[in-house]
Amino acid sequence: MLDASRVAATLQEALDDWDRLAPSLRALAASLDAGDVEGEPLDPSALLSPLPRAYEWVDGSAYLNHVRLVRRARGAAPPPTLETDPLVYQGGSGILLGPTDDVPLPDPAWGLDFEGEVCVVLGDVRQGTRVAEAARCVRLLCLANDLTYRNLVPAELEKGFGFFQSKPATAFSPFAATPDELGPAFRDGRVHLRLAVRWNGKQVGDLDAGADMHFSFLDLVQHLAKTRGFTAGTILGGGTVSNAGQGRGFSCIAEQRAQELVDGGAPRTRFMLPGDTIEIEMRDGAGRNLFGTIAQRVVAP
Q: Which of 24, 25, 56, 178 binds its own copies (CB under 8 A)?
A: 56
Nearest distance from residue 110's CB to its own copies, in Å?
7
SS3 (DSSP) at 264 = helix
User: Is 93 one of the binding residues for its own copies (CB under 8 A)?
Assistant: yes
Nearest distance from residue 249's CB to its own copies, in Å?
25
User: Is 61 one of the binding residues for its own copies (CB under 8 A)?
Assistant: yes
Give kind and range of the element (H or E) at residue 117.
strand 116-122
Q: Which of 39, 229, 275, 285 binds its own copies (CB under 8 A)?
A: 229
What is the spatial distance between Cα 273 and Cα 200, in angstroms, rounded to a whole number?
11
User: Is 127 one of the binding residues for its own copies (CB under 8 A)?
Assistant: yes
What is the spatial distance between Cα 83 and Cα 64, in angstroms, rounded to a whole number?
8
Phi, psi torsion values for 220, nearest 5 degrees:
-65, -40
User: Is 227 one of the binding residues for its own copies (CB under 8 A)?
Assistant: yes
Is residue 83 a contact partner of residue 277, using CB atoms and an 8 Å limit?
no
User: Is 241 one of the binding residues for its own copies (CB under 8 A)?
Assistant: no
The beta strands (E) that lie in 38-114 are given as 57-60, 88-91, 103-104, 112-113
Q: Which of 202, 226, 245, 286 binds its own copies (CB under 8 A)?
A: 226
User: Is 233 one of the binding residues for its own copies (CB under 8 A)?
Assistant: yes
What is the spatial distance between Cα 84 and Cα 256, in angstroms, rounded to a whole number?
26
User: Is 231 one of the binding residues for its own copies (CB under 8 A)?
Assistant: yes
User: Is 22 one of the binding residues for its own copies (CB under 8 A)?
Assistant: no
User: Is 228 one of the binding residues for its own copies (CB under 8 A)?
Assistant: yes
User: Is 224 one of the binding residues for its own copies (CB under 8 A)?
Assistant: yes
Q: Give the rounded distance of the alpha carbon of 38 from its chain centre.
A: 32
User: Is 164 one of the binding residues for its own copies (CB under 8 A)?
Assistant: yes
Q: Which of 5, 43, 81, 184 binds its own copies (CB under 8 A)?
A: 81
Is residue 146 a contact partner of residue 89, using CB atoms and an 8 Å limit?
no
Is residue 292 a contact partner of residue 174, using CB atoms and an 8 Å limit?
yes
Nearest distance from residue 149's CB to its own copies, in Å?
6
Is residue 176 a contact partner of residue 49, using CB atoms and an 8 Å limit?
no
Please choose, out of 20-28, 42-50, 113-121, 156-164, the segment that lies near its own copies by the rule CB under 8 A.
156-164
Kindly give, in sequence order, each residue whose CB lies less than 8 Å from that of residue 190, ignoring residues fewer than 6 positions away: 209, 210, 213, 216, 217
CA distances (Å), origin 281, targets 116, 167, 211, 294: 9, 21, 18, 6
Q: Which of 138, 143, 169, 191 binds its own copies (CB under 8 A)?
A: 169
Closest CA to 249 of 191, 199, 192: 199
Which amino acid type is present at position 173? S
User: Is 246 one of the binding residues for its own copies (CB under 8 A)?
Assistant: no
User: Is 90 one of the binding residues for its own copies (CB under 8 A)?
Assistant: yes
User: Is 236 one of the binding residues for its own copies (CB under 8 A)?
Assistant: no
SS3 (DSSP) at 186 = strand
User: Is 76 one of the binding residues for its own copies (CB under 8 A)?
Assistant: yes
CA angle 146, 93, 216 (to 5 degrees): 55
Nearer to its own copies by Cβ, of 56 and 260: the residue is 56
Q: Which of 167, 190, 194, 257 binds its own copies (CB under 8 A)?
A: 167
Q: Contact residues for its own copies (CB under 8 A)?
A: 53-56, 58, 61, 76, 79, 81, 85, 87-95, 104, 106, 110, 127-128, 149, 152, 155, 157-169, 223-224, 226-231, 233-234, 301
